[in-house]
Amino acid sequence: MTRKYFGTDGIRGTVGRWPITPEFVLKLGWAAGKVIGGGQGGKVLIGKDTRISGYMFESALEAGLSAAGVDTRMLGPMPTPGIAYLTRTLHADAGIVISASHNPHRDNGIKFFSSDGYKLPDEIEADIEKMIDQPMDSVTSERLGKVRRLDDARGRYIEFCKSTIPARMDFSGVKVVVDCAHGAAYHIAPNVFEEIGAEVFTIGTEPNGLNINDGVGATAPEALQQAVLEHGADFGVALDGDGDRLILVDAEGQIRDGDDILYVLTSSRIRTGEMVGDLVGTLMSNLGLEVALRAQGVGLTRAKVGDRYILEELRARKWLLGGEPSGHIICHDRTTTGDGIVSALQVLAEMHATGKSLSELCRGVSKFPQTLINVALGDNLASEIMQASPVQAEVARVENEMGDEGRVLLRPSGTEPLIRVMVEGRDGDLVLAKAQQIADVVRSACQ
């Protein structure tokens, strides 16, 4: 389906540049209200991360929805999965998230959840896009939507997170470092781990509107590594700005990415007899994970990159687990979307149940060396660059050289103007060299 405004994860871009402008977001709120409310009013939740621009877009969305006759419940700073959960349990017609996830503060975006807590279907997004292009009007004053703040949103979501692991588990004596990336989970994640009994140390919990994802969080886990070692912690949790991405650090200070987490969760579900079907990964999932899963009798189905596509596979096949190396983990037996806090709790519960450390739980997976290089597109189209003859020829040459011992993947970023060049194989030096060779050819094609 051709999209005019929506990408794979809502609408995202640089604040002040079309379409991430106040006037467009006002029109978007109105269009969404007209489509989702169907002219009959309705109720929509709005939550956001901690970017300073969130205040501006929150107001714009509220005004647009009100003009369409839709009531609004304001959640304030709230992780994306928390908004999905509250949309479902409060029987709202939709939930709106104001966030650019792991991007810096100068970016922002809008994404939607339907009433069941899942991403909006493509056809609804298409209807909203069509409505955006219509002249904006307003319902009569007596039909304008009303707005109020939901004061207990934070507490509701904290209780949900805790409910995803057995209440009988006692985590007293466990030391956990929680890095919230100065993002939406800053006032939620530390409380969750404290309330299950752990001793909690925090970083990235002082948002000022400009420091989200800045040197902390899932995209910069070095700060967490240092803190885990300094505090002698058993476990380190790094979330991204909107709380749907998770990277862990074990007691030895080693980073454990999404592939490691998926391996631990799969092993846990097998141990408890809960595992259903195979695991859903992506084109970026490591070959080592596939080999480790196969040893346990579990297959790996690769979807396109993006949690939307993982979730589509899980729902279609009625399977339980899926995710990406970047840390988007979907525990579909616990919730409807990627949730960093919930996923971290699942790993912590498995450590408690088995008496093993995180590093011990990860020993069954040995990942192949993998190099990822991002190449800026400039004003070029990703499809044209990827199909350019020199690029195609270089990829074919590297694939032929590596044979069955590796793989090459070129793909456009779904959120930034980049082409991602990935090479994977058994020989780390060879992988790095080949990735650089291909990236150089891609850069030349972009000039």
Q: Is 366 exposed, middle or buried (0-12, 13-18, 19+ CB in 10 A)?
A: exposed
Residues belonging to the active site: 101
pLDDT band at 323 (very low <50, low <70, confident <90, very high): very high
Q: What is the pLDDT of residue 417?
A: 86
- Which amino acid appears at position 78 of this protein? M
Cβ distance 347 to 264 under 8 Å?
Answer: yes
Q: What is the pLDDT of residue 403?
A: 83
pLDDT at residue 1 tops 70: no
At 86-103, the pLDDT tens digits run: 999 999 999 999 999 999
Q: Which of 163-167, 251-255, 360-364, 426-430 has the lowest mean pLDDT?
A: 426-430
Helix (H) or strand (E) holding 123: helix 122-132
Q: What is the pLDDT of residue 378?
A: 78
Q: Which of 105-109, 307-311, 399-403 has the lowest mean pLDDT?
A: 399-403
- Which amino acid appears at position 269 of this protein? R
Q: Please tell me the distance from the alpha carbon of residue 69 to that of residue 63, in angstroms, as a whole number.
A: 10
Q: What is the pLDDT of residue 344?
A: 98
Q: What is the pLDDT of residue 379?
A: 78
User: CATH 3.30.310.50 occupies which residues in the chain?
Assistant: 370-446
- Which amino acid appears at position 369 of this protein? P
Q: Please tell me the distance from the alpha carbon of residue 300 to that of residue 332, in angstroms, as a whole number.
A: 16
Q: Please tell me the distance from the alpha carbon of residue 8 to that of residue 309, in angstroms, as a whole number.
A: 9
Average pLDDT over the chain reads: 95
Kindly report whether the global pTM for this prediction surpasses the value 0.85: yes
CATH of 257-340, one of 3.40.228.10, 3.40.120.10, 3.40.50.720, 3.40.50.9100: 3.40.120.10
Q: What is the pLDDT of residue 41?
A: 86
Structure-token pair, residue 173 = 């004596």
What length does the chain have?
447
Strands 418-425 and 406-412: antiparallel
At 364-374, the pLDDT tens digits run: 999 999 899 99
Structure-token pair, residue 365 = 């997976």
Structure-token pair, residue 209 = 């509107």
Q: What is the pLDDT of residue 375?
A: 93
Residue with the larger pLDDT of the pair 376 and 234: 234
- The CATH code for residues 11-150 is 3.40.120.10
Q: What is the pLDDT of residue 229?
A: 98
Number of other CB atoms surrounding residue 411 within 10 Å: 17
Closest CA to 89 of 125, 43, 128, 48: 43
Q: What is the DSSP string of 385-440?
A: HHHSHHHHHHHHHHHHHHGGGEEEEEEE-SSSSEEEEEEEES-HHHHHHHHHHHHH
pLDDT at residue 421 tops 80: yes
Q: Please tell me the distance from the alpha carbon of residue 140 to that of residue 383, in angstroms, as a whole number.
A: 46
pLDDT band at 81 (very low <50, low <70, confident <90, very high): very high
Closest CA to 310 of 1, 8, 3: 8
Q: Please tell me the distance from the alpha carbon of residue 75 to that of residue 66, in angstroms, as a whole number.
A: 16
Into which CATH architecture does domain 370-446 fall? 2-Layer Sandwich (3.30)
Query: In degrees rounded to 5, what are phi and psi of residue 8?
Result: -75, -20
H runs (alpha helix) in 164-306: 189-195, 222-231, 258-272, 287-295
Structure-token pair, residue 168 = 């009988």
The verdict on whether omega for the bond into residue 390 sits within 30 degrees of 0, i.e. cis, is no
- Please compute the mean of the pLDDT values over residues 173-195 and round it to a whole number: 98
Of the chain, the percentage scoring pLDDT greater than 70 comes to 99
DSSP-derived 3-state class of residue 419? strand
- Please compute the mean of the pLDDT values over residues 208-215 and round it to a whole number: 98
Query: In degrees rounded to 5, what are phi and psi of residue 313?
Result: -65, -45
At 116-144, the pLDDT tens digits run: 999 999 899 999 999 999 999 999 999 99
- Please compute the mean of the pLDDT values over residues 171-195 and round it to a whole number: 98
Q: Please tell me the distance from the alpha carbon of residue 346 to that of residue 161, in angstroms, as a whole number.
A: 10
Q: Please tell me the distance from the alpha carbon of residue 321 to that of residue 310, in angstroms, as a whole number.
A: 9
Q: Please tell me the distance from the alpha carbon of residue 276 to that of residue 321, in angstroms, as a whole number.
A: 9
User: CATH 3.40.120.10 occupies which residues in the chain?
Assistant: 11-150, 168-254, 257-340
- Which amino acid appears at position 235 of this protein? F
Strands 300-303 and 279-282: parallel
Of the chain, the percentage scoring pLDDT greater than 90 comes to 88
Cβ distance 314 to 320 under 8 Å?
Answer: yes
pLDDT at residue 2 tops 80: no
Q: CA 128, 129, 134: angle at the middle one, nearest 5?
A: 90
Strand order in the sheet with 406-412: 370-376, 418-425, 406-412
Q: Please tell me the distance from the alpha carbon of residue 86 to that of residue 45, in angstroms, as a whole number.
A: 8
Could you tell me the sign of the dihedral formed by the alpha carbons of 307, 313, 318, 324, in that order?
A: negative
Into which CATH architecture does domain 168-254 fall? 3-Layer(aba) Sandwich (3.40)
